[in-house]
Amino acid sequence: MTDYLATAMAELDQARQQAVRLLCQAHAEERVSPEAFESRLEQIRQAPNEATLAAMLADLDQGHLPVPYHQHLPETEPADHTDVAPVSPAEYLRIASVFGSTKRAGSWTVPLTLGIRVLLGEVTIDLRDAVFGSDLVEIEVDAKFGSFTLIVPAGTQVENEIEEVLSSSTHSTRNARGVGPNGLLIRLRGRAVISSIEVKEKLPTKSGKADSLFARLLGSGD
């Protein structure tokens, strides 16, 4: 009897894991609202059996429940956008990472508003060598079960207004000691659920040290 119960519980755990993956995929495809996502996630955790899980997500299922999930995604290198450098700033740019890792760095033009979406993944935004079209950048963050790292030029003022639910946030200035304000303001807004938010102030990379921050506003520097 003990072995039977252990096997049944293991199978239920596997079915729950697959149900969470299915729900996350639906949320990433915007078929489920943030509110519905959190509600269904709690229901999945409390589901007593696989039949309940299948009925609960029947409208999202693509024929994969309640078979336990065993697929392993191949390991890939983080996406790197270091060569992207738009001529003029966009009003809005969205960067998302779902079950993966995404990085944007190097010489690129920062939009007026940047949308970050992280779902069971990680996103790194490095602004040290970026070109700015404004002295104010708004970043809207939607993070669930992931991490978001923001690297800003030393001396940047960062206002973190993100609502944190079972999450953590840090702001490191260790590599920016002795550097005065540069006039750039970055405002973080949004929501983080079981995620980590890291802000790091750093000096420009070797290739960008020659240009001051505002020498690079709107590409006035090389």
Q: In which band, very low, low, confident or very high, does the pLDDT at 217 lie, cut at 50, 70 and 90?
A: low
Residues 6+ apart with CB under 8 A from 63: none
Query: What is the reported pLDDT for 208?
Result: 45
In this predicted structure, what is the pLDDT of residue 213? Answer: 54
* Average pLDDT of the chain, as a whole number: 78
pTM (2 decimals)? 0.62
Q: What are the residue ranges of helices labelled H in the chain?
A: 2-28, 34-46, 50-56
Dihedral-angle region of residue 165 (phi above 0 means left; psi in -120 to 50 means alpha; beta otherwise): beta
Please report the pLDDT score of residue 46 as a whole number: 81
- CB-based burial label for 38 (10 Å; 0-12, 13-18, 19+): middle
C-alpha gyration radius of the chain? 21
- How many alpha carbons lie under 13 Å from residue 41 in its C-beta half-sphere? 18
- pLDDT bin (cut points 50, 70, 90) of residue 38 is confident
Contact 171, 160 (CB under 8 A): yes
pLDDT for residue 32 is more than 50? yes
pLDDT tens-digit map of 126-141: 999 998 888 899 999 9
**Residue written as token pair 């006035």:** 220
What 52-60 contacts at long range (C-beta under 8 Å, 24+ apart), as own/partner pairs, is 53/15, 53/16, 53/19, 56/19, 57/19, 57/22, 57/23, 60/22, 60/23, 60/26, 60/31, 60/32
Token pair for 120? 């069971």
Nearest to 110 by CA among 160, 198, 176, 185: 185
Query: Tens digit of pLDDT for each residue in 51-104?
Result: 777 777 777 755 444 333 333 334 445 444 434 444 567 889 999 998 889 999
**Cα gap 24→19, rounded to integer Å:** 9
The per-residue pLDDT for 222 is 42
The answer to whether 217 touches 131, Cβ cutoff 8 Å, is yes
